[in-house]
Amino acid sequence: MKKKTKIAIAIYLITFVTVIAIAVYFNNTKQEKPKAKPEEYFEFSDIAAFARNSTTQNAILIEMLHFNLTPIRGDANHVAISTDGMTNPEDYYYLKIQNSTTETIDITFAFPIKSTKQDEGYPIKVKIYSDEAEGDVTLFIKPEDVITQ
C-alpha cells in the first residue's frame, strides 16, 4: 500500500471514531427537562386549618394544616411535602401519586405557625418536591375554613 493510502485510511478511521465518540457523549449527557411549578402540576383543594386566635390583629396560629393534593398533568413520582415547623416530615413522602388521584394531606406543627390575613386568606408556604415539579407554593386558607379552638 502506498503511503498516501495509509494516511487517508488513518484519517478516515480517526474521523469515524471521533464522530462515534461525540454521538455517545451527547447521548449520555441528555439535558434534564426543567421541572414544572407545583401549582402548574398539582391541584391544591379543600385547604383548611385548625388554629388559635393570635394576640396580633388579623392573625391566627396554625396548629394543623389540611389540604388535598392531586396531580393534574400526569403521575407524580417521589413526592415530598415540607413546611417550616412540621412534625414527622418522613410521613409526607409518596413514592407515586397517580394522575387525577387525590392524596389527603394533614400536617401537624411542632409549634403554632403565625399567619396574618391577606386579601386571599391566611397564607402558608409549602414546599413540594417531585420528579416532575418542584418549588414553593403559597396556600391561602379562607377565613371560613379556619377552625378555631
First to last CA, the chain: 96
- DSSP tag of 90: G
Q: What would the pLDDT profile of 46-99 be if each residue is shown by its tens digit?
A: 999 999 998 888 999 999 999 999 999 999 999 999 999 998 888 899 999 999
Kindly list the domain boundaries of the chain, sorted by start residue: 1-31, 38-148
Q: Are the beta carbons of 69 and 81 closer than 8 angstroms? A: yes
Of 1.10.1220, 2.10.260, 2.60.40, 3.40.1400, which CATH number belongs to 38-148?
A: 2.60.40
CA dihedral 48, 53, 56, 61 (to 10 degrees): -50
2-61 confidence digits (pLDDT tens): 666 666 666 666 665 565 656 666 665 555 678 999 999 999 999 999 999 988 889 999
Residue 24: per-residue pLDDT: 64
**pLDDT score at 89:** 84
What is the Cα–Cα distance from 146 to 87, expressed in whole angstroms?
20
* pLDDT for position 90: 84
Phi-psi map region of 36: left, alpha, beta (phi>0 left; psi -120 to 50 alpha): beta
pLDDT of residue 56: 87
